[in-house]
Structure 1
Amino acid sequence: MEECLLVERDGPVTWLTLNRPDRLNALSDELLKSLGDALEESTSTDAAVVVIRGSGRSFCAGYDIAPDSAEVGYAAERTPVQDRDRLLGNIELFTRIWRHPQPVIAQVHGHCVAGGAQLASLCDITIVAEDAKIMTSPALPLGGGYLSPLWVHRVGPQRAKLMSFDAGRKISGKVAAEWGWAAEAVPADDLESYVRRTAHSLARTPAPLLRLKKEAVNRTIELQGLLTYARTGAETDALLHQTPEVKYFQESIKELGLKGAIAAFNAPFAERFGRDA
């Protein structure tokens, strides 16, 4: 069985590749655990920079909510407290990226959806392909508040609300950089070589200096409440998972599949405004 996370050392740079290309690198429990373990292991190496990327066509399609995934209906199968604890566990993992002693770059191509955007939002530097598709939800209102606080941190409240309220809204990598969600956007064909060059350029600075520089910037953001409101988002999401509306959409995924459930959700809108509205 192929590893769900690939680890590669390239001199002072560690590459962590999400490796579930058949699922667009959707985040399973196994992949999340492997990512956490790899981050922990990287702290004991002499690497100066970490890069997180995705294999295949996309960076990450979010949490795995396909009909044959254990993620489907997870809110309904747990108590609200259990669900909140599960969501907080994900936040804690991504917080480990935020507080990792080495700078972490997210290399984003293809789709970057929901949990994938959450992961990238807590990396130190996000570099995207210009044609990447960035979304805060998998085109269905399956919860709320889990990602929005992190988007407030990156793009401000109005744009965070726009992405959160309008299910399935997406922006290109180019727009993501213009908004400030990403540091830079480059042509897709140049993305890997550009990130590799950037990572090695950062790694010229001694690792202890990089660590203290990172901590200085992060402390400023944390004083503004970043990690507190990221945790608050988990509580809001757990509450919404108990609503009849979200339970309806969860059942719709089971019955129709993810694509079918999205099509059913969009049908009235498409009928009124046209196929491409």
Structure 2
Amino acid sequence: MSDALLVVDRDGPVTYLTLNRPERLNALSDELLERLGEALDESARTDAGVVVIRGAGRSFCAGYDVAPDSAEVGYAAERTPVQDRDRLLGNIELFTRVWRHPQPVITQVHGHCVAGGAQLASMCDITIVAEDATIMTSPALPLGGGYLSPLWAHRVGAQRAKLMSFDAGRRISGATAVAWGWAAEAVPAECLADHVRHLAHSIARTPAPLLRLKKEAVNRTEELQGLLTYARTGAETDALLHLTPEVKAVQERIKQVGLKQAIADFNAPFVEQFGVHPVQGRTR
């Protein structure tokens, strides 16, 4: 199955699922997420040994689509808190299907990997990143309440999860993501595609039933430590904060001036005080 939003390719025992919205840095729309779920279901019915999720164009994924013409903007205001929570949990359920997919799932991360993109990668079996990739757990604006933070606390520890959550726009490189334990390996960007292809084919040498049971064994240890509970925890807080005046004001500002200008406006007081952009003023 292939369409404008998601491209499915088969390379011997490896299935590639390519997020294909390069003009929006593969931002996750509801339709793209639905296509991803369908492609995973289809792959599970094949004899593929490994699945690779990657992004077309300059980046892996810029997170959930919050551009002014996206249905995502203002979505919290259009739903009750319970409806909004259910919507957010729906995304977690999709990513849980990735986590429990019968075939090993590798994420190939280049360029930007932001918010929902980092959420997706966090639920894959093995994440391989370009050394110069940019990973962020939240967008550069305060648009929610730590949807991803509990999952990152499980992955990298509470202090680093708080650092990424509290400081809007905080980012780390692919190399740092490996040092923190979020990703498995970092390679030069120009080597990423070949490295992942070789890894996927090497893994696929092991018979599929063995891979499935190996995956379930490791997953069970993670689930006993609360991984899936962590993944679901942020939805309640995020749904609540979507209804706050502060978040509604940010959403309205995006509608009025666009995402880039809204980010610039948010950072302007910091730049005026310190004479440097927040990102440039950080040590890493």
TM-score for both structures, normalised by structure 2: 0.96
- 1:155-194 equivalences under 5 Å are 155-194=156-195
Q: What is the distance in 1 between the residues matched to 2:218 and 2:210?
A: 13
Is 1:209–2:210 an aligned residue pair? yes
Partner SS state of residue 3, structure 1:
coil
User: Counterpart of 1:38?
Assistant: 39
Q: Structure 1 residue 256: deviation in Å?
A: 1.2
Aligned residue-pair number? 277
User: Counterpart of 1:227?
Assistant: 228
Q: Structure 1 residue 71: deviation in Å?
A: 0.6
Q: What is the distance in 2 between the residues matched to 1:62 and 1:161?
A: 19
- 1:1-277 equivalences under 5 Å are 3-276=4-277, 277=281
Q: State the AA in 1 paired with 2:51.
A: V
Give CA deviations for 1:4-63 in whole Å, capped at 9, x if unaligned: 000000111000000000000000111000000000000110001000000000000000
Q: What is the distance in 2 between the residues matched to 1:192 and 1:153?
A: 28
Give CA deviations for 1:170-204 in whole Å, capped at 9, x if unaligned: 00001111111100000000000000000000000
Q: What is the distance in 2 between the residues matched to 1:229 and 1:134?
A: 19
Q: What is the distance in 2 between the residues matched to 1:211 and 1:198?
A: 17
> Do 2:109 and 2:128's aligned partners in 1 also have CA atoms closer than 8 Å?
yes
Q: What is the distance in 2 between the residues matched to 1:102 and 1:273?
A: 49
Partner SS state of residue 48, structure 2:
coil
Partner SS state of residue 45, structure 1:
coil
Partner SS state of residue 124, structure 2:
coil
> Do 2:141 and 2:266's aligned partners in 1 also have CA atoms closer than 8 Å?
yes
Partner SS state of residue 75, structure 1:
helix
Q: What is the distance in 1 between the residues matched to 2:40 and 2:231?
A: 20
Q: What is the distance in 1 between the residues matched to 2:164 and 2:105?
A: 25
Give CA deviations for 1:240-267 in whole Å, capped at 9, x if unaligned: 1011111111111111100011001000
Q: What is the distance in 1 between the residues matched to 2:193 and 2:233?
A: 35
Q: Structure 1 residue 275: deviation in Å?
A: 2.6
Q: Structure 1 residue 145: deviation in Å?
A: 2.2
Q: State the AA in 1 paired with 2:213.
A: L
Q: State the AA in 2 paired with 1:201.
A: S
Q: What is the distance in 1 between the residues matched to 2:240 and 2:173?
A: 30
Q: State the AA in 1 paired with 2:246.
A: E
TM-score for both structures, normalised by structure 1: 0.98
> Do 2:130 and 2:186's aligned partners in 1 also have CA atoms closer than 8 Å?
yes
Q: Structure 1 residue 149: deviation in Å?
A: 1.3
Unmatched tracts of structure 1, length 5 or more? none
Q: What is the distance in 1 between the residues matched to 2:240 and 2:227?
A: 21
Q: What is the distance in 2 between the residues matched to 1:274 and 1:76?
A: 36
Partner SS state of residue 258, structure 2:
helix
Moved over 4 A (4+): none
Q: Structure 1 residue 137: deviation in Å?
A: 1.2
Q: State the AA in 2 paired with 1:126.
A: T
Q: Structure 1 residue 2: deviation in Å?
A: 5.6
Partner SS state of residue 25, structure 1:
coil
